Structure 1
Amino acid sequence: MWTLALRGGERVAVVAAQWNDAFGVVTRGRVQLELRDGEPGPVLGRDAGFWLRGTGVRALRNPGRRTARVRIATPGAGTVTCRSTHPRTPVTERRRNDMNSTNDTGIAAGPASGRTSHTRRLRGLAGTGFIATLAAMVATTLAAALARAVGVDFEVPDGGETIPLSGFAVVTGFFSVVGVVIAVALRRWSARPAQRFVWTAVALTAISFVPPLLAGADTATTTALLGLHLVPAAVMIPTLARSLRTRTV
């Protein structure tokens, strides 16, 4: 049994010949499993265990800033009896030392690759959010135009002003960007970003219903405003949640 220390952003490749049938337990920080196809796997917290046999894990990565530690147990490591060219050094001891050595390029790599991959995923999420924001703005504006065409005046009693179509686009764009920022933050710091994003977004959508209900507008305007709050939510929430799942699970 030996301990692997991962600095913030560091990635360590799993070499089958040296990690044969290994079992790991996270003793400090968080560790993300990188799957064989290059996609990031689940993020494991303290006291979480994982088995490498048949799981397709090809690397371990520290997604945080603080050093993470993993206790690795390899069955049979203490009973290796094959002969060595160094008779005074047991094979198991040399094997353990080789695994701990940062000079072994087979299992150790610098943190740059992990950080680059992480940055690329964040940029991909932001790009997806930008496209979803444009789609939400267009969908909401078209829905507002359709509502106005069937007779909804969108007149607010305070001051007797009518909400212009451009106002729907601006407000939708602003709050959609806020949603993207929340998604990026959760992707960076949360172990379950997709699930927590959905909870947060649904809660904020429910809170957004309060102003239309308190505005004192007529029934048609109030109903239309409530419906227009649901349009961008229906675009942004599934899109960002799907993007968070495909990059994290």
Structure 2
Amino acid sequence: MRTLALRGGARVVVVPAEWPDAFAVVTRGRVQLELRDGEPGPVLGRGAGFWLRGTGVRALRNPGRRTAIVRVVTRRSAHPVPRILDLGGCEMSSVIRTGIVATLAAVVATTLAAALARAAGVDFEIPDGGEAIPLAGFATVTGFFSIVGVAIAVALLRWSARPAERFVWTTVSLTAISLVPPLISGAGTATVVTLIGLHLLPAAVIIPSLARSLRSRSQVTAMSA
């Protein structure tokens, strides 16, 4: 018998070939089964038992905050204890690294674009404030919201069975909302159009980069399973 402890939000990959005649029982907390197509499966509570081999399950996920305990029983005489690959930490580190690189790229690209626009005659003056937006302001705001995007990606990787799709939907929606302030700012047409472009530019860097990273983490997991 083997005891598997899943901390809150943790996810482990199931290797089907190494689960012959293995039967698992949830003895504490809750465990969600993740299916081969990436769809979330049923959430099993304490006392629930399940077979894994041949059932189309590719991973186990703890949807709660408390540590979940799963006991796995095999026929000792016929097969070794099943092996479980815990790729959660590696996946998260990879997404964070991708996010940091994308954030730096977004900050540089947005600041450079703002500088070029200013050189071309865009004043970036907002009527309510009475002052022009400084270049440092573009860098700061871009960096802050890019980090927010990375945090969203990490959270979805940990809690969602379809992190890439949900990340794209969430961040595209937030990007669309971010276009409202420039439109109602009362600034000149050139400033409004440029500000909209400067909102879309970092989104075009951050969203595809993190979505690809989230999707590749899922594909690696599926191949390992």
TM-score, length of structure 1 as denominator length: 0.67
Q: 1:6/1:43 Cα in 2 relative to 1: closer, same or farther (>3 Å)?
A: farther
How far residue 31 of structure 1 moved from its aligned partner, in angstroms, is 3.2
How far residue 226 of structure 1 moved from its aligned partner, in angstroms, is 0.5
Alignment of 1:112-151 (within 5 A): 114=86, 117-151=87-121
- Paired residue type of 1:229: H
8 Å CA contact 1:15, 1:107 repeated in 2: no
Identity over aligned residues, as a percent? 53
Q: Which residue of 2 aligns with 1:214?
A: 184
- Paired residue type of 2:31: G
Aligned partner (choices 156, 173, 190) of residue 186 of structure 1? 156
| Range with greater deviation from structure 2 (155-164 or 184-193) | 155-164
8 Å CA contact 2:74, 2:81 repeated in 1: no
Shift >4 Å, 4+ stretches: 4-7, 9-13, 49-53, 67-70
CA distance in 2, matches of 1:244, 1:150: 38
CA distance in 1, matches of 2:212, 2:177: 23
- Paired residue type of 1:45: G
Alignment of 1:87-166 (within 5 A): 98-99=74-75, 106-109=80-83, 114=86, 117-166=87-136
Q: Which residue of 2 aligns with 1:92?
A: none
Q: Which residue of 2 aligns with 1:45?
A: 41
Unaligned runs of 5+ in 2: 23-29, 44-50, 220-225
CA distance in 1, matches of 2:192, 2:106: 20
How far residue 43 of structure 1 moved from its aligned partner, in angstroms, is 5.8
8 Å CA contact 1:134, 1:173 repeated in 2: yes
- Deviations along 1:17-58, one digit per CA (max 9) or x if unpaired, are 946xx9xxxxx7323579xxxxxx8464129x98749x9x9x
Over the aligned positions, Cα root-mean-square deviation in angstroms equals 3.6
CA distance in 2, matches of 1:237, 1:172: 13
Unaligned runs of 5+ in 1: 23-27, 35-40, 71-96
How far residue 218 of structure 1 moved from its aligned partner, in angstroms, is 0.5
8 Å CA contact 1:62, 1:68 repeated in 2: no
Q: Which residue of 2 aligns with 1:94?
A: none
CA distance in 1, matches of 2:71, 2:172: 36
Matched, 1:29 2:31: yes
Q: Which residue of 2 aligns with 1:239?
A: 209
Q: Which residue of 2 aligns with 1:167?
A: 137
Matched, 1:203 2:173: yes
8 Å CA contact 1:198, 1:241 repeated in 2: yes
How far residue 248 of structure 1 moved from its aligned partner, in angstroms, is 1.2
Alignment of 1:7-22 (within 5 A): 7-8=5-6, 13-15=15-17, 18=20
CA distance in 2, matches of 1:68, 1:32: 15
Aligned partner (choices 43, 60, 63) of residue 61 of structure 2? 63
8 Å CA contact 1:213, 1:222 repeated in 2: yes
Q: Which residue of 2 aligns with 1:224?
A: 194
Q: Secondary structure at the match of 1:224?
A: helix
- Paired residue type of 2:142: T
Query: Bigger radius of gyration, 1 or 2?
Result: 1
Q: Which residue of 2 aligns with 1:81?
A: none
- Tell me the matched-pair count: 197
8 Å CA contact 1:126, 1:180 repeated in 2: yes
- Deviations along 1:177-199, one digit per CA (max 9) or x if unpaired, are 00000000000000111000001
TM-score, length of structure 2 as denominator length: 0.73
